[in-house]
Structure 1
């Protein structure tokens, strides 16, 4: 009878519940529990399995540069220009629900990408869909989309995702086409979705980077309003890691 029940549970795609049920049959500790308690444990096992599977799928689809990034592992304090209370607030992902942006600036190596990926990872954990792209790579995708006729489809995909991470803002030169593409991407998301941007350029230099004054005004108007601005400081974490490794090897 147990075998038949297990087969039926798996046939209903309740594999985690089936495994938990089988484990209960061999666990004397649960034999004294009531039916409701044991059934609740089975439901919890299936629910946890599905939550973890969905999270794994969202993180895989996001293609984060640092998929293991975690807000709990961030170094905060004056040395990094990152306040712990701000991190706690962002960890709630209220900014995603309210369609706010996050702008992360700082010198190379200070942890901008890690912070962006940690925020994205947290959003995935709370059920939001995320896409990560280095901005130079996104420009390449948009150029190819123009050529093969998938431009509208790509824009629609970027517009639907809850959190779009644009890493390395300001590293690649802009053409008129790229400026217009960037405006299209951000305009579709304005007030309806959240965007995370990382850049080595201080925000005060973004207007000059964008070049065309009219398009720069339009792009920044869709970015800097309703945004949380984080300016990271401190030495390069890559250099610090390299120094520690060299010291350990010595």
Structure 2
């Protein structure tokens, strides 16, 4: 049986998964019957799982997803919102990101557009993809400030170099001239080099008017829409459904 000096050595070597597993095994009477190979196998397995968890967390932190806990295992395919299960599960394989294609998720408020987008992004993080999440209104605020204080080149690089960029809440407000130029630079830099996901309450047709200037709108939408998968959701807000269930089943 190993002694506590081994635990100290594991921690010193930053083999935290092994150290944790070793401490747990030492406290279990049944572990005394394990062979050396079984001990080693359990320790190595835990270290591998621990390192993979840390790698995923390291990609999730800078992504700053709105719904950090959204994951593909929790997707509700029974909800009446028109979610194409076969298409969504195909998207979860990540092939669209490998192929540098885009994804557009549209539908009314509350049907889970952002949540589904974040669940897809978590899968991408698990697969080693770098992700950047930006709400469209907040993105343009950040870009405007960055133009003024000299941070624009760094912010621009962080947006354009991400393998997956999520532009959440593409809304009805028409873009300003500066916003159009910034968006054009972003989509041009990313075209053929990374994937972009957009969520919006608006169907695609009015996006041309939202961008505002026909020349810019044609160029931007050509780079976003033509190679994009589309998830077009419908139905009532799922938040209302949850609220109704809570009303019908009050907790005591």
**Is the counterpart of residue 107 in structure 1 residue 108 in structure 2?**
yes
Distance 1:76 1:249 in 2: 25
Report the 3-state secondary structure (helix = DSSP H, G, I; strand = E; otherwise coil) of the residue aligned with 1:222: helix
* Distance change in 2, residues 1:77/1:247 (3 Å): closer
Instruction: Tell me what 1:92 maps to.
Output: 93
2:171 corresponds in structure 1 to 170
1:31-55 CA-to-partner distances (Å, cap 9, x unmatched) read 4444333212211111111111222
Tell me whether 92-101 or 74-83 shows the greater mean CA deviation.
74-83
Deviations 1:71-98 (A, max 9, x none): 2332336932212111211111111222
User: Following superposition of structure 1 onto structure 2, how do residues 31-110 of structure 1 map, counting pairs within 5 Å?
Assistant: 31-76=32-77, 79-110=80-111
| CA-CA distance at 1:172 after TM superposition | 3.2
SS of the aligned residue for 2:157 comes to helix
Once residues 11 and 38 of structure 2 are traced to their aligned partners in structure 1, the CA distance between those partners, rounded to angstroms, is 22
RMSD of aligned alpha carbons: 2.0
1:190 is the counterpart of 2:171:
no
Q: Is the 8 A contact 2:16 2:50 kept in 1?
A: no
Look up the match of 2:218: 217
Give SS of 1:110's match. coil
Q: Are the counterparts in 2 of residues 207 and 216 from structure 1 also a CA contact under 8 Å?
A: yes
For structure 1, which segment, 19-28 or 116-125, has the greater mean C-alpha deviation from structure 2 after superposition? 19-28
State the 1:212 CA deviation. 0.6
Structure 2 CA distance for aligned equivalents of residues 205 and 78 of structure 1? 27
Q: Which runs of 5+ in 1 are unaligned?
A: none
How many residues align? The count is 250
- Contact 2:180–2:211 (CA under 8 A) maintained in structure 1: yes
* Pairing of 1:106-145 with structure 2 (within 5 A): 106-145=107-146
Corresponding residue of 2:204: 203
Partner of 1:243: 244
Find the aligned partners of 2:27 and 2:76 in 1 and give their Cα distance. 45
1:1-20 equivalent positions in 2, closer than 5 A = 2-20=3-21
* Matched residue SS, 1:10: helix
* C-alpha separation in 1, matches of 2:89 and 2:118: 16
Alpha-carbon distance in 2 for matches of 1:95, 1:130 = 14
Query: Structure 2: where are the runs of 5+ without partners?
Result: none
* Greater displacement, 105-114 / 17-26: 17-26
TM-score by length of 2: 0.91
Residues 201-243 of structure 1 show CA distances to partners (whole Å, capped at 9, x for unaligned) of 1111111221111111111111112211110011111222222
**Structure 1 CA distance, aligned partners of 2:233 and 2:140?**
26
Output the CA distance in 2 between the equivalents of 1:172 and 1:163: 24
